[in-house]
Amino acid sequence: MNSSTIFYAIGDLMTNYAFLPLEMVGNIFNYACIVLGFVGLFYWLNLQRKMTQKAKDDGKLI
């Protein structure tokens, strides 16, 4: 038994069992992260717009 046999066994184990849940999820996680990022961006931009308008109304914005 040489080291390549051990490494191939570890690789096969990872491919067949450890990465299987990631393969089943597919791109759903990626799409969820993108959607969550855009929702956060739009929330932040809306909040920034409100704060800027309030600063203009209060005369604190130059």
Confidence of residue 54 (pLDDT cuts 50, 70, 90): very high
* Residue that is written with structure tokens 């849940």 in the block: 21
User: Half-sphere exposure of residue 45, counting CA atoms within 13 Å on the CB side?
Assistant: 6
Weakest mean pLDDT among 11-15, 21-25, 53-57: 21-25
* All structural domains of the chain with their residue ranges: 3-58
Q: Is the pLDDT of residue 62 over 80?
A: no
DSSP, residue by residue, 36-53:
HHHHHHHHHHHHHHHHHH
Q: What is the pTM of this model?
A: 0.60
